[in-house]
Amino acid sequence: MGRIIIFFGIVLVSVMGSAQESRIRQDFNSNYVHTVFFWMKEPANEVSNKKFEVSLRKFLDQTKYAKTQFIGRPPKATRNVVDDSFTYSLVLSFVSAEAQENYQMEAAHLVFIGESQELWDKVVVYDSMGIKE
């Protein structure tokens, strides 16, 4: 009986994960993708990291322009081509380049920069526009 419950639990988690992944793919807008990498001044300082994360989440909760949002931390690289030197990554999608430009100047974004820029040492941004078929 216990094995059956465990089996159905695993199936339920798998189905829920697939549904979530499908929703994310459906919401993702490939028109304009904004990828930001942050190198924190003190990457091992949990207090600074928490302050950064709280400010970033507050900003993302308030932005009017980002269609999808992803905050990440690098796993330990296992291949030479993988750069794991950053502390945080942020990936946002937008419906257009104009929406991304508006995001740059919106109050929530400017507040985030003001609250957090003292915490990072370096920021690198990669913007991409989707290839039209």
- Please indicate whether residue 56 or residue 31 has the higher confidence score (pLDDT): 56
Look at residue 75 in the predicted model and tell me its pLDDT. Answer: 87
Q: How confident is the model over 95-105, as a mean pLDDT?
A: 94
Look at residue 8 in the predicted model and tell me its pLDDT. Answer: 40
Q: Calculate ∠ Cα 32-106-97, nearest 5°.
A: 20
Look at residue 3 in the predicted model and tell me its pLDDT. Answer: 52
pLDDT of residue 112 exceeding 70: yes
pLDDT of residue 17 exceeding 80: no
pLDDT of residue 14 exceeding 80: no
Q: Residues 36-73: pLDDT tens digits?
A: 999 999 999 999 999 999 999 999 999 999 988 999 99
Residues in the chain: 133
Look at residue 68 in the predicted model and tell me its pLDDT. Answer: 85
Mean pLDDT of the chain: 83
Q: CB of 72 within 8 A of CB of 84?
A: no
Task: Choose the CATH number for 31-129 among 3.30.70.100, 3.90.550.10, 2.40.160.50, 3.40.50.20.
Answer: 3.30.70.100
Look at residue 19 in the predicted model and tell me its pLDDT. Answer: 43
Domain definitions of the chain by residue range: 1-29, 31-129
The helix-helix angle for 107-116 and 97-105 (nearest 10°) equals 60
SS (H, E, C) 45-87: CHHHHHHHHHHHHHHHHHCCCCCEEEEECCCCCCCCCCCCCCC
Look at residue 13 in the predicted model and tell me its pLDDT. Answer: 41
Rounded Cα–Cα distance for residues 67 and 5 (Å): 38
Look at residue 52 in the predicted model and tell me its pLDDT. Answer: 97
